[in-house]
Amino acid sequence: MPRIKMIIEYDGGSYHGFQTQENANTIQAEIEKQMLRLTGEPIRIMAAGRTDAGVHARGQVIAFDTSSTIPPDRWTDALNTFLPPDIRVLSSIEADPFFHPQFDAVRKRYNYYIYRQKAGAVFYRHHTLCTTEKLDIAGMRQAVPMFIGTHNFRAFCARGSSVKTYRRTVNDCNVTESGPLLCLNIEADGFLYNMVRIIMGTLLEVGRGKITADDIRAIIQSQDRTKAGPTAPPHGLYLVEVSYASDNYGAATEKILENKDTFLTKGLWHR
């Protein structure tokens, strides 16, 4: 039975997160429902990350086993015929039978977008954090390098997590501007529950002048969630890319997404 690997994108605004939940509309449940319609076969999918309610994805990776005769590369068009317009398959290939999109991942990259002017906010309110408050962008840029490296990120993990270790390695973290848009771009070997949203909320506190860039180091060392900033809303967050050591899948993802980096500056991103 072949294992199929897909890159998918979705607008998470209408869903209660990725993972199937009882009596809730989720990305996983919708995809599996449409796979059943397509093939007549009950299929269970695995994912690289279980994004929260309202969080979006531009490069989520899923995998599943199937006895269907659909060729691996034809799954893209076949499944998109059934999926709603806010979930799209970008690519599909046959994977190693032991491939797991979560456990085999070596890096994940997220973007968090902030839109900073009144005009146009009506179009971006479901896909970015909209705010007109004045932010010290230079101070935020001084703060982001503090997150790079291997640290105990317990102060940036939502309560209730059952992880065995809070140590994560952040490979890249930067803040960029493009007109009214501000983007946090962060890559790590893995992320804790709500970690990116808490980092974003903490950087906003730097931007507001409530804490300094130097305070970030002390917050990390404290391992105290109450020392970090608030959790930023989910709708500004995007899972952008998942990379694997076993192949050039990260490069494939980058190629597929290379023309999407300016989607927010040219209007709403939609299918």
Select from 3.40.50.2000, 3.20.20.80, 3.40.1280.10, 3.30.70.660 the CATH code of 107-238.
Answer: 3.30.70.660
Distance of alpha carbon 177 from alpha carbon 179, whole angstroms: 6
The pLDDT tens digits for 3-14 are 999 999 999 999
**How confident is the model at residue 252, as a pLDDT?**
42
* CATH number for the segment(s) 3-103: 3.30.70.580
Q: What pTM did the predictor assign?
A: 0.89
Half-sphere exposure at residue 163, Cβ-oriented, CA atoms within 13 angstroms: 17
- pLDDT > 60? residue 122: yes
Tell me what the pLDDT averaged over the chain comes to: 91
Residue 87, classed as helix, strand or coil, is strand
- pLDDT > 90? residue 233: yes
Phi, psi of 171 (to 5 degrees): -90, -30
Of 52, 77, 96, 214, which one is the catalytic site residue?
Answer: 52
Q: Where do you find CATH 3.30.70.660 in the chain?
A: 107-238
The pLDDT tens digits for 48-106 are 999 999 999 999 999 999 999 999 999 999 999 999 999 999 999 999 999 999 999 99
**How confident is the model at residue 159, as a pLDDT?**
87
Encode burial over 82-98: b for 16+ CB neighbours within 10 A, e otherwise: bbeebbbbbbbeebeee
The residue that leads in pLDDT, 271 or 133, is 133
What are the structure tokens assigned to 24, written together? 């809730």
The pLDDT tens digits for 144-153 are 999 999 999 9
- pLDDT > 80? residue 265: no
Could you identify the residue written with the tokens 């990725």? 18
The pLDDT tens digits for 157-208 are 998 888 899 999 999 999 999 999 999 999 999 999 999 999 999 999 999 9
Could you identify the residue written with the tokens 């490979």? 171
Is 52 known to be catalytic? yes
DSSP 37: H
Distance of alpha carbon 260 from alpha carbon 136, whole angstroms: 27
Q: Where do you find CATH 3.30.70.580 in the chain?
A: 3-103
Strand-pair category, 149-152 with 237-244 = unpaired
pLDDT band for 270, please (50, 70, 90 cuts): very low
pLDDT band for 247, please (50, 70, 90 cuts): low
- In sequence order, what are the beta bridge partners of 8? 60, 89
Percent of the chain with pLDDT over 70: 91
- pLDDT > 80? residue 248: no
Half-sphere exposure at residue 200, Cβ-oriented, CA atoms within 13 angstroms: 24
| Angle separating helix axes 195-207 and 213-222, nearest 10 degrees | 140
Longest dimension (CA), the chain: 59
